[in-house]
Structure 1
Amino acid sequence: MSESGTPETVTRVREALSPYLGDEVATVDAGRDLAEAFGERYDSLTAMECVTAVEAAFGIEVDFVAHDVRHWFASVERIARFVDGELEDRVRLGSHG
């Protein structure tokens, strides 16, 4: 897995977040902190909506107890790395959702 997630995953994450963060999410630096980039627009409610959107887009489930959501959902790059890791784990474990 790439340090920043696969390019395809980064693109799909941006698409999943765009209804909540707007078209600007397509051009924000993938490593930039979303709270810094979007300010009040990336509040706790929007962050939750983004988690749900990513779950739906990739068919994964975010466990708020086991996963450090504040860390993993801080930037597009981290979200993509998280998604790639979850998808790799699914393949390794032989689970298809």
Structure 2
Amino acid sequence: MSSRTVPAFDETLSRVREVLGELLGDGVRSAGQDEELTRALGDRYDSLAALECVSRVENAFGIEVDFVAHDVRYSFATLGRIAEFVQGELEDLAVLGNSG
């Protein structure tokens, strides 16, 4: 059993904004939680930027995104969905531990 604690959703969302803001700028910090990132950021959120976002989220939260098992296009479309995805992964790690 893991002793890892899971932050509150609002904390996760705030951290997602911070991590992605370092890459994509102030548009991430001002984008609505449910606003499509392609709409909020325009050309700055292309496929390469999305892949970099996945990598940064993995590193920042100590999780792994499986491009086969996870619907990455859906999960990384809005800040809220990214935070929900991260939250779910952190909850799984807290319950199951890191069997990696």
TM-score between the two structures when normalised by the length of structure 2? 0.87
Larger-gyration structure (1/2): 2
In structure 2, what residue type is equivalent to 1:42? Y
Corresponding residue number in structure 2 for 1:15:
18
State the number of aligned residues.
93
Of 76, 83, 87, the match for 2:86: 83
In structure 2, what residue type is equivalent to 1:44? S
Corresponding residue number in structure 2 for 1:29:
32
Moved over 3 A (4+): none
Q: Is 1:56 matched with 2:54?
A: no
Please give the alpha-carbon distance, in whole angstroms, between the structure 1 residues aligned to 2:99 and 2:28: 29
Query: What do the CA deviations read for 1:10-33 (whole angstroms, capped 9, x no partner)?
Result: 000001101221022111101100
Q: Percent sequence identity over matched residues?
A: 58
TM-score between the two structures when normalised by the length of structure 1? 0.90
Corresponding residue number in structure 2 for 1:95:
98
In structure 2, what residue type is equivalent to 1:88? E
Ranges in structure 1 where 5+ consecutive residues have no aligned partner: none
Please give the alpha-carbon distance, in whole angstroms, between the structure 1 residues aligned to 2:29 and 2:99: 29
